[in-house]
Amino acid sequence: MSHAFDPTILREYDIRGVIGETLGPDDARAIGRSFGTLLRRAGGSKVAVGYDGRTSSPMLEHALVEGLTGSGCDVVRIGMSATPMLYYAEASTEEVDGGIQITGSHNPPDYNGFKMVFQGRPFFGEDIQALGKIAAAGDWVDGVGEVETREIMDEYVERLLAGLDGIDADRLSGLRVGWDAGNGAAGPALEALAKRLPGEHVLLYTDVDGSFPNHHPDPTVEANLADLKALVAEKNLDFGVAFDGDGDRIGAIDGEGRVIWGDQLLMIYAEDLLATRKGATIIADVKASRALFDHVAAHGGTPLMWKTGHSLIKSKMKEVSSPLAGEMSGHVFFADEYYGFDDALYAGVRLIAAAARLGRSVTELRSAMPGMINTPEMRFQVDESRKFAAIAEVEARLADSPADVDGTDGVRVTTDDGWWLLRASNTQDVLVARAESDSEEGLARLMAQIDEQLALSGLKRGESVGH
Q: What CATH number has the domain bearing residue 452?
A: 3.30.310.50
Q: Are residues 93 and 209 in the same domain?
A: no
Q: Where a domain ends, among 113, 134, 151?
A: 151
pLDDT recorded at residue 426: 81
Q: Among 403, 408, 383, 409, which Cα is nearest to 452's?
A: 403
Q: Among 425, 421, 418, 355, which Cα is nearest to 387's?
A: 425
Q: Among 382, 413, 410, 420, which Cα is nearest to 398's?
A: 413
Q: Are residues 41 and 165 in the same domain?
A: no
Instruction: Report strand pairing: 418-424 vs 430-437.
Output: antiparallel
pLDDT recorded at residue 169: 85
Q: Are residues 241 and 95 in the same domain?
A: no
In a domain, 446, yes or no: yes
Q: Where are the alpha helices (DSSP H) in 321-463?
A: 344-358, 362-367, 384-397, 440-456
User: H or E segment at 380?
Assistant: strand 378-381
CB atoms within 10 A of CB 77: 18
pLDDT recorded at residue 13: 86
What separation, in Å, do the N-terminal and C-terminal C-alpha atoms of the chain show? 35
Residue 61 DSSP SS3: helix
Q: Are residues 110 and 44 in the same domain?
A: yes
Residue 317's φ and ψ, nearest 5 degrees, are -55, -45
> Do 317 and 334 meet the contact criterion of CB atoms below 8 Å apart?
no
Name the DSSP class of 342: B
Cβ contacts of 35 within 8 Å, gap of 6 or more: 47, 67, 68, 71, 98, 100, 116, 118, 123, 131
DSSP letter string, 231-242: HHHHHT-SEEEE
Q: Among 373, 466, 374, 376, which Cα is nearest to 425's?
A: 466
How far is it, in rounded angstroms, from Cα 171 to Cα 361? 11
Q: Are residues 412 and 384 in the same domain?
A: yes
> Do 229 and 253 meet the contact criterion of CB atoms below 8 Å apart?
yes
Amino acid identity at 322: S
Q: Where are the alpha helices (DSSP H) in 162-220?
A: 169-172, 187-196
Q: Are residues 362 and 229 in the same domain?
A: yes
In a domain, 1, yes or no: no
How far is it, in rounded angstroms, from Cα 27 to Cα 22? 9
Q: Are residues 136 and 273 in the same domain?
A: no
CB atoms within 10 A of CB 165: 8
Q: Where a domain ends, among 92, 125, 151?
A: 151
Q: Are residues 162 and 246 in the same domain?
A: yes
pTM here?
0.95
Structural domain total, the chain = 3
Q: Where are the beta strands (DSSP E) in 185-300?
A: 200-204, 239-243, 250-254, 259-260, 281-285
Q: Among 356, 157, 339, 198, which Cα is nearest to 268's?
A: 356
pLDDT recorded at residue 463: 56
Q: Are residues 176 and 107 in the same domain?
A: no
Entry field: residues in the chain: 467
How far is it, in rounded angstroms, from Cα 343 to Cα 317? 15
In a domain, 461, yes or no: no
Q: Where a domain ends, among 117, 151, 185?
A: 151
Q: What is the CATH number of the domain that holds 117?
A: 3.40.120.10
Q: Which domain holds residue 249?
A: 156-277+286-293+341-367
pLDDT recorded at residue 205: 98
How far is it, in rounded angstroms, from Cα 373 to Cα 304? 22
In a domain, 224, yes or no: yes
In a domain, 266, yes or no: yes
Q: Are residues 225 and 354 in the same domain?
A: yes
**Cα dihedral across residues 372, 377, 380, 383: positive or negative:** positive
In a domain, 237, yes or no: yes
Q: Are residues 38 and 109 in the same domain?
A: yes
pLDDT recorded at residue 465: 52
Q: Are residues 200 and 250 in the same domain?
A: yes
pLDDT recorded at residue 461: 83
Local mean pLDDT, 10-residue blocks, the chain (467 residues): 93 92 98 98 98 96 98 98 97 95 90 96 94 97 97 97 94 95 97 97 97 94 97 98 97 98 97 98 96 97 95 94 96 97 98 97 97 89 91 94 92 96 88 95 97 93 59
In a domain, 186, yes or no: yes
> Do 429 and 419 meet the contact criterion of CB atoms below 8 Å apart?
no
Amino acid identity at 458: G
Active-site residue list = 105
**Cα dihedral across residues 452, 456, 459, 465: positive or negative:** negative
In a domain, 239, yes or no: yes
